[in-house]
């Protein structure tokens, strides 16, 4: 999907490592590995995560594309080693809600382990590392990012209590979060073709995170009149200002200079201590779903993954508009605008 800031990842949940190759990074960019590692740590945190998070201390190794801490213009290779690297047993009891069923039919795999290993949210670790590199580029243009939880399960407050109850019951919880980017230039994205709208690209980037079921940009307009929803324009000291940002920073598929606000809903994680009813693919009998260690709630972690995905889309657009072979050239193009 990305044309300028391109990347691919590889790696399994219990494989040797997770890897990414990023192509298209401008040269002379200082890549702060402490910043990347801190982003990885953020993804591992949040109330309700599984014991895998205590086992792993995700840290990145950059094996190419950097000299003396700065990018050379060559592709970056990022590696995160898995401490829990081992052969796990085969299983045949589909986990409803997970990729097990459709994945095993699609790839003709007899062991559902082969689906689990790559469909696991573990791979979002390397995606967060890639997103951290994108954030480093955004920071060069003073574009900042933050996120917050809006809802966990049915509650807006006392998240921890609801997570504790779900954990006791062997259940899991989803929720809703918001990601915000500030100080974006006007005109990232476009209205001229359907596949160039920034809102569409962001929606795809966030919706394709394993457990996401809904994405919104700005305020949900359902039930609002045009006069209530649209953000009127005013003049202050000769500049156009808005008093509201219901559009969430995007009009006509383009950034409009307001804060970009993206909200997303995550489903409850389907791997559960209290198993769902399912079918065994080998014996074709009804049974209880396979259980392995899992999170009770990973909404906070998911918001960090969404930040990373959106950061990659924004950098791709920034490069399209202000691209340059070095960070200096890119900044020159940015200033000229």
Closer CB to ligand EPS, residue 121 or residue 262? 121
Closer CB to ligand EPS, residue 116 or residue 202? 116
Minimum Å distance from CB 35 to ligand EPS? 20
Q: Site for ligand EPS (CB under 6 A): which residue of 122, 201, 281, 309?
A: 122
Minimum Å distance from CB 38 to ligand EPS? 16
Minimum Å distance from CB 138 to ligand EPS? 24
Residues in the chain, total: 337
Site string for ligand EPS, 278-307 (x = CB under 6 A): --------------xxxx------------
Interface positions, 30-69, toward ligand EPS (CB under 6 A) = 50, 52
Region from 105-113, 117-125, 142-150, 192-200 binding ligand EPS, contact rule CB under 6 A: 117-125
Yes or no: say if 128 and 18 are a contact pair by the CB < 8 Å rule.
Answer: no
Burial class (CB in 10 A: 0-12, 13-18, 19+), 272: buried
Closer CB to ligand EPS, residue 71 or residue 303? 303
The answer to the question of residue 266 lying near ligand EPS (CB under 6 A) is: no
User: Rounded to the nearest 5°, which phi and psi values hold at 190?
Assistant: -160, 160
Interface positions, 179-218, toward ligand EPS (CB under 6 A) = none
Closest CA to 269 of 175, 335, 174, 334: 174
Rounded-to-integer distance, Cα 302 and Cα 49, Å: 11
Minimum Å distance from CB 51 to ligand EPS? 8
Region from 106-114, 115-123, 159-167, 252-260 binding ligand EPS, contact rule CB under 6 A: 115-123
The answer to the question of residue 84 lying near ligand EPS (CB under 6 A) is: yes
Cα angle 246, 251, 255 (rounded to 5 degrees) comes to 100
Q: Which two tokens stand for residue 243?
A: 């008093």
User: Rounded to the nearest 5°, which phi and psi values hold at 270?
Assistant: -80, -15
Minimum Å distance from CB 297 to ligand EPS? 11
Closer CB to ligand EPS, residue 27 or residue 124? 124
Site string for ligand EPS, 8-27 (x = CB under 6 A): -----x--------------
Closest CA to 140 of 5, 266, 237, 29: 29
Q: Which two tokens stand for residue 194?
A: 């359907």
Closer CB to ligand EPS, residue 131 or residue 218? 131
Closer CB to ligand EPS, residue 291 or residue 334? 291
Closer CB to ligand EPS, residue 71 or residue 172? 172
The answer to the question of residue 81 lying near ligand EPS (CB under 6 A) is: no
Q: Site for ligand EPS (CB under 6 A): which residue of 40, 60, 62, 121?
A: 121
Closer CB to ligand EPS, residue 61 or residue 228? 61
| Number of residues binding to ligand EPS, judged by CB under 6 A | 15
- What is the contact surface with ligand EPS in residues (CB under 6 A)? 13, 50, 52, 84, 120-122, 124-125, 269, 271, 292-295
């Amino acid at each position: 999907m990305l044309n300028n800031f391109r990347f691919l990842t590889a790696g399994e949940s219990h494989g040797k490592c997770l890897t990414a190759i990023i192509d298209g990074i401008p040269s002379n960019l200082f890549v702060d590995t402490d910043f990347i590692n801190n982003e990885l740590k953020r993804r591992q945190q949040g109330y309700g995560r599984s014991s895998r998070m205590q086992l792993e201390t995700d840290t990145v190794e950059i094996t190419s594309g950097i000299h003396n801490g700065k990018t050379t213009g060559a592709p970056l290779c990022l590696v995160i080693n898995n401490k829990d690297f081992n052969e796990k047993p085969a299983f045949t009891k589909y986990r409803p809600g997970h990729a097990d069923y459709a994945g095993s039919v699609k790839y003709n795999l007899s062991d559902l382990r082969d689906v689990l290993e790559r469909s696991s949210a573990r791979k979002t670790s390397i995606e967060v590392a890639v997103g951290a590199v994108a954030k480093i580029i955004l920071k060069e243009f003073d574009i900042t990012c933050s996120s917050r939880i809006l809802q966990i399960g049915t509650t807006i407050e006392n998240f921890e209590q609801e997570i504790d109850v779900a954990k006791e019951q062997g259940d899991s919880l989803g929720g809703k979060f918001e990601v915000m980017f500030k100080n974006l230039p006007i005109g990232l994205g476009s209205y001229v073709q359907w596949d160039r709208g920034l809102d569409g690209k962001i929606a795809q980037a966030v919706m394709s995170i394993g457990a996401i079921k809904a994405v919104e940009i700005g305020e949900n307009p359902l039930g609002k009149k045009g006069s209530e929803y649209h953000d009127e324009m005013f003049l202050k000291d000769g500049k156009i200002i808005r008093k509201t940002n219901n559009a969430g920073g995007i009009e006509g598929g383009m950034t409009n200079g307001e804060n970009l606000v993206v909200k997303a809903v995550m489903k409850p994680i389907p791997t559960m201590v209290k198993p769902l009813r399912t079918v065994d693919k080998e014996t074709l009998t009804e049974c209880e779903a396979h259980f392995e260690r899992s999170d009770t709630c990973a909404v906070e972690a998911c918001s960090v993954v969404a930040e990373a995905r959106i950061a990659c889309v924004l950098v791709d657009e920034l490069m399209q508009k202000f691209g340059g072979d070095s960070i200096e050239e890119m900044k020159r193009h940015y200033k000229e605008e």
